[in-house]
Structure 1
Amino acid sequence: MNHIPQSEWAERFPGATIIPFEGKHPQIDESAFVAPGARIIGDVTLGPQSSVWYNCVLRGDIHRIEVGARSNVQDGSVFHVEGPRPDTDGCPTIIGEDCVIGHMAVVHGCTVEDKGFVGMGAVAMDDCRIGAGGMLGAGALLSPGKHIPAGEIWIGRPAKPFKQRSETEIEKVRFQTERYMRLAQRHMAELRR
């Protein structure tokens, strides 16, 4: 990855707040998109062609946040982490490659593996894992320590297994990540006018 130097953040991402915290600086790939109004704080890494949309907050102050290549974090979503405690080293927030995080999702100290999907308004809490191609449905609540196996859909509050996704359904996530990559390019072009 080629990261954008701190001196270029304001020019590249006008209207976004990107700040270090206690010596930890966000690492943003040169092909990533950060929309105006987004807040990227501390130990946050954004991978190639990833995108963080309008009014998202990614606060890596007490642990790290990673967003993998081609993944998108849609408008109004909030990412935070769980710091170390006497019984644990804490929980980073790790988003794999080709993931979709829907509008207004809350992801807190959770891992989403490649091609994972977190639906609009869903909440994934500390030490949760959404397996590769797994999906947390819109509005669902994944309580601490729960793990969605690869390819399963969980729904409800609290979330429970609903069904297994087909390979075709899982591949549709890639369609969405590609669409968001193209859309990010259009937004970047518009912002530079």
Structure 2
Amino acid sequence: MILPFFEKLPQLKGEVFIEKSARVIGDVNLGDGASIWFNVVVRGDVNYIRIGDRTNIQDGSVVHVTRDTHPTILGDDVTVGHNVTLHGCIIGNRVLVGMGAVVLDGVEIGDDCIIGAGSVVAPGTKVPAGHLILGNPGRVKRPLKSSEISHLKVSADNYIHYMRQYLSMTEEGCGKIG
């Protein structure tokens, strides 16, 4: 469901999927091929949210902002796993955020990174491109292998396929915006 926050209404570019149990609120821009899955909340009420092309936000995740200081910006081809919290952070292109991870205010994640499942990335953390982040607090563990980097785009492409399957269903089966 798309909801305004005062005068701000989410903006959709191209083909977008928002499952009907999800909420996309306020100053939010969704890129072409973006998909918002079951029970996700994307709340651009007190600052803005930008979600890139072909980025998927999976079931139960929350994307929010901090008033005046920290918007949330997700690049292209980002995969946000189930039950993730993204709050006032910047995520580069082709990043995989593992299930249950928490990424807090002022965090900046470079392109081609993996944040491991259950990791908590502390406020203000800066991660250069091409690294694996694990733990609580989340720390850079090592550079990614080329095979891991190439899989990041595959993960996003899988969700384009799933999105198209859902968009082909009747609106009774899912909320669709195409």
TM interval, short-chain normalised: over 0.9
Matched residue SS, 1:162: strand
**Cα distance, 1:30 vs. partner?**
3.3
Question: How many angstroms apart in 2 are the aligned matches of 1:57 and 1:33?
Answer: 14
Name the one with the larger helix percent. 1
Equivalent position of 2:176 in the other structure: none
* Contact 1:51 1:72 (C-alpha < 8 Å) held by counterparts: yes
Q: Which consecutive residues of structure 2, in runs of 5 or more, have no partner in the other structure?
A: 173-178
Equivalent position of 2:133 in the other structure: 154
Question: How many angstroms apart in 2 are the aligned matches of 1:167 and 1:40?
Answer: 35
Larger Rg: 1
Equivalent position of 1:53 in the other structure: 37
Alignment RMSD: 1.0
Question: How many angstroms apart in 1 are the aligned matches of 2:146 and 2:93?
Answer: 14
2:73 aligned with 1:94: yes
Moved more, 182-191 or 50-59: 182-191
2:68 aligned with 1:116: no
Equivalent position of 1:32 in the other structure: 16
Equivalent position of 2:52 in the other structure: 68
* Contact 1:27 1:46 (C-alpha < 8 Å) held by counterparts: yes
Equivalent position of 2:109 in the other structure: 130
Provide the TM-score with structure 2 as the length reference: 0.93
Provide the TM-score with structure 1 as the length reference: 0.86
Give the residue type in structure 2 aligned to 1:36: K
From 123, 137, 156, the equivalent of 1:177 is: 156
2:130 aligned with 1:165: no
Question: Percent of pairs identical after alignment?
Answer: 38
**Cα distance, 1:188 vs. partner?**
1.5
Give the residue type in structure 1 aligned to 2:74: I
* Number of residue pairs matched by the alignment: 172
**Cα distance, 1:28 vs. partner?**
1.2
Question: How many angstroms apart in 2 are the aligned matches of 1:79 and 1:26?
Answer: 14
By relative contact order (CA 8 Å, sep 6+), the higher-ranking structure is 2
* Contact 1:91 1:127 (C-alpha < 8 Å) held by counterparts: yes
